[in-house]
Amino acid sequence: MSNQDISRRDLKHVWHPCTQMHDHEQLPLVPIRRGEGIWLEDFDGKRYLDAISSWWVNLFGHANPELNAALRQQADTLEHVILAGFTHEAIVELSERLVALAPPGLSKCFYADNGSSGIEVALKMSLHAWRNLCQPGKTRFIALENSYHGETIGALGVTDIPLFSETYRPMLQPPLRAPSPDASQRRTLPDGSVESDADVARRQFVAMEALLAQHAHEVAAVIVEPLVQGAAGMRMYDPLYLTLLREACDRHGVHLIADEIAVGFGRTGTLFACEQAGITPDFLVLSKGLTAGYLPMSVVMTTDAVYDVFYDRYDTLKGFLHSHSYTGNALAARVALASLDIFARDDVVNANRERVRIMAEALAPLRDHPHVLEVRQKGMIAAVELVRDKAARTPFDWRERRGLAIFQAALKRGLLLRPIGSVVYFMPPYVITPEQIRWMVATAAAAIDEGLAAPAGSWSERGPEMA
Ligand SMILES: *Cc1c(COP(=O)(O)O)cnc(C)c1O
Under a CB-based contact definition with an 8 Å cutoff, are residues 425 and 349 in contact?
no
The residue whose CA is least distant from atom 15 of ligand 1 is 262
Mean pLDDT of 107-133: 98
**CB under 8 Å to 434, separation ≥6 — which residues?**
354, 355, 358
**CB under 8 Å to 378, separation ≥6 — which residues?**
227, 228, 236, 267, 268, 269
pLDDT at 463 over 60: no
Ligand 1 atom nearest residue 288's Cα: 7
Q: 48-89 pLDDT, tens per residue?
A: 999 999 999 999 999 999 999 999 999 999 999 999 999 999
Q: State which amino acid sits at residue 442.
A: A
**Å from CA of 413 to ligand 1 middle:** 29
Please tell me the distance from the alpha carbon of residue 102 to that of residue 46, in angstroms, as a whole number: 40
b or e along 124-162 (b: 16 or more beta carbons within 10 Å of the residue's beta carbon)?
Answer: ebbbbbbbbeeeeebebbbbbbbbbbbbeebbbbbbbbe
| Residue 225 in contact with ligand 1 by CB distance below 6 A | yes
**Å from CA of 56 to ligand 1 middle:** 9
**Å from CA of 161 to ligand 1 middle:** 13
| Residue 287 in contact with ligand 1 by CB distance below 6 A | yes
Instruction: Indicate the helix (H) or strand (E) that contains 451.
Output: helix 434-453
What is the pLDDT confidence band of residue 461, given thresholds at 50, 70 and 90? very low
Mean pLDDT of 212-224: 98
Q: State which amino acid sits at residue 419.
A: P
Closest CA to 151 of 140, 138, 161: 161
E strand residue ranges, 225-308: 228-229, 235-236, 255-259, 283-286, 298-303
pLDDT at position 305 is 98
What is the pLDDT confidence band of residue 456, given thresholds at 50, 70 and 90? confident
Ligand 1 atom nearest residue 55's Cα: 1
**Å from CA of 118 to ligand 1 middle:** 9
Closest CA to 55 of 274, 261, 360: 261
Domains annotated on the chain, with CATH: 3-63+348-462 (3.90.1150.10), 68-346 (3.40.640.10)
Q: DSSP string covering 9-45, please?
A: HHHHH---TT--GGGGGTSPP--EEEEEBTEEEETTS
**Å from CA of 62 to ligand 1 middle:** 20
E strand residue ranges, 100-218: 106-112, 140-144, 176-178
The residue whose CA is least distant from atom 7 of ligand 1 is 115
CA 60 remoteness from chain centre:
17
**Å from CA of 312 to ligand 1 middle:** 32
